[in-house]
Amino acid sequence: MLNKQIAKAKINLCLHVTGQDKNGYHLLDSIVTFANYGDELIFRKNETFEIVSDGQFSEDLNNIPITDNIIYKAAKELKLSDDFKIGLKKKLPLSAGIGGGSADAAATFRGLIEYCNTSLPIDNGLTLGADVPVCLKSTNQRMQGIGEILSDIEFLPKLSAVLVNSGDKVSTSTIFKILKSKANKKISSLPNKKLTFFETIHFLSKLRNDLESPAIEIVPSIRKVLGSLNDCGSNLSRMSGSGGTCFGLFQSFELAQKAAGEISLQNPNWWVRPVVLG
């Protein structure tokens, strides 16, 4: 039996850092959505446990021990009696703020649970990463706490977007270290009706990503990425997560495709992808 899962790119439309808990974990308030694009995982029973990676961003993963791979860690969390061969087509950049590793872990949970009729870990994978629980859902969510508090949200329309990453990796731990304020305002009340595109832009423009400024300090190319999106007519440009992937929102997918083409032409070494969010 062949089991295929898509590990969709996670996009933080906003990310407010609201404090730290007693264990030092940062508290977040974020509106999260997912792209119609991501890594692909295929699961087959095997005599030994094996991960075979290919794709644009597989090289870094192939250079680490299998026990350091989050897919391996997720599989072992399920304590299965059978072994599997997991094929990974790595289409999302690493250390990029779009939950690539967490999405792969969540897809591993979904794929193996479907295969073996077992159940999720009690913490929904939170110990593997703060984004794993939201990536398990892969739907529009408000994410709070350290990632464990999730609420369905209904007000977002489908959004055409361009995702751009310069290729410069960002250290999440370093960004949090230089973040000036770790007790910022939470998101205010959410809309109670479905928004139009321009209503969504107006709502999101009042929010922010608290990690964007410190990320730009460490990786100045993020500023150039945001400028490229703005120059191509993005109605709202922002960094996702701890970076360095940025997104631009466009009124139509045709406009997003046109912008992606222009940015790719001007910056051939960047990763650029037109997507639909939600």
Q: In what helix (H) or strand (E) does residue 205 lie, and over which residues does it extend? A: helix 197-205
Amino acid at 112: L
Q: In what helix (H) or strand (E) does residue 136 lie, and over which residues does it extend? A: helix 132-137
Beta carbons of 232 and 272 less than 8 angstroms apart: no
Is position 10 annotated as part of the catalytic site? yes
Is position 131 annotated as part of the catalytic site? yes
Rounded to whole angstroms, the Cα distance separating 240 from 273 reads: 14
Instruction: Given the residues 10, 73, 90, 91, select the one marked as catalytic.
Output: 10
For 276, the token pair is 């639909």
Annotate 112-180 with DSSP letters as a single string: HHHHHT----TTTTGGG-TTHHHHHH-S-EEEEETTTEEEE------EEEEEEE-S----HHHHHHH-S
Read off φ and ψ for residue 241, nearest 5 degrees: 55, -135
Rounded to whole angstroms, the Cα distance separating 143 from 36 reads: 20
Contacts with 274 (C-beta within 8 Å, 6 or more apart), sequence order:
160, 161, 162, 253, 256, 257, 259, 260
Vertex 252, ends 246 and 256: CA angle to 5°?
Answer: 40
Locate tokens 């009042």: which residue? 206
Instruction: Given the residues 29, 39, 104, 131, select the one marked as catalytic.
Output: 131
- By annotation, the residues acting in catalysis are 10, 131
